[in-house]
Structure 1
Amino acid sequence: MHLIKTLFLLLLLASGASRAQGIAPYEARLGRARPVVAVVGVNSGTELSDFLAPYAILARAGSMDVLALGTSAGPIQMRPALRVAPHATLAAFDAQYPDGADYIVVPAVAAPDDPVLLPWLAVQAAKGATIVSICDGALVVARAGIFKQHRATGHWATHRQRVADYPDTAWLANRRYVADGKVVSSAGISAAIPTALALVEAVAGRARADEVAAEIGASGWSDQHNSARFGRTPGMLLTALGNKLLHGQARIAIALHDGMDELEMALQADAFSRTLRSKAYGVADSMAPVMTRHGLQIYPDLDRSAAAGTVPVAGGNLKQIISQIRTMYGAGTAHLVAAQLEYDELAEANF
């Protein structure tokens, strides 16, 4: 039996290495005019860009009903910064949509064995939802048993762990995202962007995906990727150590206001909070929650009166944000942040 399973996984790996497979076009079901998409987070800790990047891109497309869900009531503590109020809990979603979602987006979370999230995902998959993991959301989906006998990927830093812990999944490298039937998975954090655009194409068509990509400053959503470029190098470790021990931590002001773009905000806060020389804080006119462009409430960390000494930064796409970090803190720190986000600084793509 072990030999048969090994041969099967080798065949999966071979087929995944030989050809790329996009996300299957959406097929309407359950009498719905539009697909229902749930982006789920664990309230105690969820990766910021993993959660907000897909949410922002899918909601911007305007062709899906996109809901942000938490495992329990109250705001979701995002990592490494900010707090977000979900639209509903998993239980409330189940009451409203007893037949389940069409797509579930699963970001990396602080507790990949969360006792509420794991069984809920298994039930959603059994009801026919396509499960989409982002970055180390792959650890959650794998633990729920949904990746068994499938091809998948995740953040470069956890590849060995995934291969060891979940040997009945064919873990692919050098892919920004992998689609295998009803399961889709992405590489590290920045891969949320091309993965979400690929999902827009599957639901709304190539033309609409092109429009959304242009709006957010992305040049495309190819699954091609060189994960071998990333690794924990001595230079990276020295930069991290130096930034932690030899520099103070600047307070970066992320300006919060009604109607703001979730993607740009998330990338700013995420990237600057990973330099080990700065931490992002959401700053607004008051401590009241602000409403984003696509209907999420974000809780400020500081109001203007308490924001003295914070450093404002410009927005932009990820390439522009990494460039700001390089200007402020040097090439070593920019590379450190890019590696954490699994963003290829040498690639020409602008996401």
Structure 2
Amino acid sequence: MPTRLLLLSLCLSLLLDTTTAHAATSPPISDEAIAAYVPRHGRTRPVIAVLGENRMTELVDFVVPYGILKRADIAEVLAVAPDPGTIKMLPALSVAADISTAEFDARHPQGADYLIVAATHHNDDARLLAWIRAQAGKGATLLGICDGVFSLAHAGLLNGRRATGHWYSANNRQAQFPKTQWLEQRRYVVDGPIISSSGVSAAMPVSLALVEAIAGRTRAQQLADELGLADWSATHDSRAFTLQRADYLTLAGNWLAFWGHETLIIPVQAGIDEIALALTADAHARTYRSQVLSSATAPLLTRSGLRLIPDRVHGEPGMHSLSIGKGPASHALHQALADIANRHGAATARLVALQLEYPSPYLASVTAP
């Protein structure tokens, strides 16, 4: 389904759903620790597969863990998809898989040490689920980012376990998978070899938690300082995330204001910071006012070696250039929200922060346009 049609279907589902999507609350906790890495199969470094689905995979869920773990330089990290070639991202951009699942199996028949599963539109795809189950059977630790947890659940790996996901999907998860204990009030949940995280922006802290499990707290702290992230604990107040009447009106108003829609172009070049790029593009593409495209003459490698496939749109009428904020990568999301507020108002910035489950001062803004 084209991205704009998918966003419209999500828009309609939000407008028709008048309930607040929260499962039974869980008591706040200070932290959850991922077990320290234990080498297997004579490997000197762990093998980490970051799994997406070629047709539609959530951008930040996939790119941020890949970028953080590659930047940490503590493992062999591979971008994996069922088919070789392009992975179409939601709500913007495209990247290329390093390797297909079949190619991964040929290279690493003993399986991955860690499998990171991004949220995908086709989260019950039979090939995807079969490969996830196979990796679990080979002893991989599984990490579902945001609603990547649906793939773990569809694979039958969460029965009797504790888990979490995006705040908005709480009721849906509870209804579909009642044998799982769904928790709130935390950025991520660790249940032995199964790890799950809350909404999109939780990809940053849970990835650092994995760095700490593999290489220790000092390395995780060094990387957090570089990224500009003050904390990667599981502490989280999910009660701050709820849709109010003003949010529905903002969403509908933005979608219906066709005359005010815009196409934003991000010029990209080799070595671009893929974490900052993903956070910026993802945020702007969630306003229901903007389409975000990348511009370059050919596919290129990002700072961490991910192959970005540009949209190759150059200087078309009505398009506006969008720049990525300077400074540590994690600050890109804060800067993107500020830019969105300037362009479309604080209510739209709040709507984006809700979708990304990102603690932000804009959550206090509930005034419809």
TM-score, structure 1 normalization: 0.91
Q: How does 1:110-121 map to 2 (within 5 A)?
A: 110-121=121-132
1:140 aligns with 2:151: yes
Query: Does the 8 Å CA contact 2:111/2:140 hold for their aligned counterparts?
Result: yes
Greater shift, 13-22 or 51-60, is seen at 13-22
C-alpha contact (below 8 Å) 2:82/2:128 kept by paired residues: yes
| 1:67-78 alignment runs, 5 A limit | 67-78=78-89
The 3-state SS of whatever aligns with 1:123 is helix
- Please say if residues 58 and 91 of structure 2, whose CA atoms lie closer than 8 Å, have aligned partners that are also in contact: yes
Residue 3 of structure 1 corresponds to: none
Are the equivalent residues in 2 in contact too, given 1:254–1:268 (CA < 8 A)? no
Instruction: Write the deviation string for residues 260-282 of structure 1: whole angstroms up to 9, x where unpaired.
Output: 11111111110000001111110
Alignment gaps of 5+ in structure 1 = 1-12
1:340 to 329, 332, 355: 355
Alignment of 1:23 onto 2:34: yes
Deviations 1:306-329 (A, max 9, x none): 477323233242122211211221
Give 1:65's match in structure 2, choosing from 76, 79, 101: 76
The residue aligned with 1:277 is 289
Secondary structure at the counterpart of residue 229 of structure 2: coil
Of 299, 311, 316, the residue aligned with 2:309 is 299
- SS of the residue aligned with 2:125? coil
Counterpart secondary structure, 2:260: coil
SS at the partner of 1:140? Answer: helix
**2:111 maps to amino acid:** G
Residue 264 of structure 1 corresponds to: 276
CA-based RMSD: 1.8
1:116-163 residue CA offsets vs partner (Å, 9 max, x unmatched): 110111111111100000010011101101112111000001111111
**Please, which of 327, 342, 346 is the counterpart of residue 327 of structure 1?**
342
Q: CA 1:170 to 1:16, structure 2 compared with 1: closer, same or farther past 3 Å?
A: farther
User: Does the residue aligned with 1:76 lie in a helix, a strand or coil?
Assistant: strand
Question: Structure 1 19/40 Cα, relative in aligned 2: closer, same or farther at 3 Å?
Answer: same
Q: Answer yes or no: is the 8 Å Cα contact 2:184–2:238 preserved in 1.
A: yes
Q: Which amino acid aligns with 1:318?
A: L
Distance 2:345 2:54 in 1: 34
- Which of 173, 184, 195 is the matching residue for 1:173? 184
Unaligned runs of 5+ in 2: 1-23, 326-330, 363-369
Number of residue pairs the alignment of both structures matches: 333
CA distance in structure 1 between the aligned counterparts of 2:181 and 2:312, rounded to whole angstroms: 45
> In structure 2, do the counterparts of structure 1 residues 281 and 146 end up closer, same or farther at CA, with 3 Å as the change threshold?
same
What secondary structure does 2:85 align onto?
Answer: coil
Q: Using the TM superposition, give the Cα deviation of residue 74 of structure 1 relative to its aligned residue in structure 2, in angstroms.
A: 2.0
In structure 2, what is the equivalent of residue 125 of structure 1? 136
Matched with 1:163 is: 174
CA distance in 1, matches of 2:82, 2:105: 12
Q: Which residue of 1 aligns with 2:47?
A: 36
Does the C-alpha gap of structure 1 residues 15 and 321 become closer, same or farther in structure 2, counting only changes over 3 Å? closer
Q: Distance in 2 between matches of 1:231 and 1:308?
A: 34
**Could you tell me which residue of structure 1 aligns to residue 105 of structure 2?**
94
Name the counterpart of 1:4. Answer: none
Counterpart CA distance in 1 for 2:360 and 2:308 is 30
Quote the offset at 1:293 in angstroms.
1.0
Q: Tell me if 1:236 matches 2:236.
A: no
Shift in CA distance, 15/325, structure 1 to aligned 2, threshold 3 Å: closer
